[in-house]
Structure 1
Amino acid sequence: MRVMVLVKATDDSEKGLFPEPWTTEMMAAMGKFNDALRDAGILLMADGLQPSSQAKRVAFDGPGRTVIDGPFTPARDLVAGFWLWEVKDMEEAVAWVKRCPNPMPGPSEIEIRPFYDL
């Protein structure tokens, strides 16, 4: 099954605040984690996203379209990064997320969303 693994944004990630040496240490730990995912054959794609201040939304209302400039709030409802994985089942995805280094300097959340199988 394919899952999208979403790293939820925080107030600090939305401000682009990542202190040293935490950033260097976290990037090294995340690199090792991504290598393990790749070696296990489940990593299809991974990337980080810029803060929502760099984003746009397009709102639809019938035939009308409205462009909305970021930043967007609240931060906890936003995504700071993602992985796309191919796993056996949700239990395997949860097990891998539990192995993930904390992607933020403080409290954070990672959400796992399965794709529809067509």
Structure 2
Amino acid sequence: MKLMKVLIVMMVVVFACTAVFAAEGGNSRKGKYLYKKNCKVCHVSGAEGGELTPLSKTQKQWDRFFNEDKHKKSPEVMKKFSEKDLKDINQFLFDHAVDSDQPETCG
């Protein structure tokens, strides 16, 4: 019985933490739309930016890109997006990174 109570408490804590992090993150569906509309133009095979899909990086690498790198080779690209748009794109790439539960390309 005590084990059951501990498991229930742990599940509630995990759920609460997940809800907090989800509220601070971006909208993955909107991020996919923004990525396909704005980023994929330069990031397909043979294009100027080279092929880049969610599968190109791990979740940690995507977060590092958005927090530190910020498109160092062409920083002006990032300036056209609002902070919310960048969070949405980052969320899409993070959610479908090579080490995520749902890895996928951008299609």
TM over 0.5: no
TM-score normalised according to structure 1 size? 0.28
Higher relative contact order (CA 8 A, sep 6+): 1
- Pick the structure with greater CA Rg: 2
Q: Which has the higher strand share?
A: 1
Compare the two structures and name the one with the higher helix fraction.
2
TM-score by length of 2: 0.30
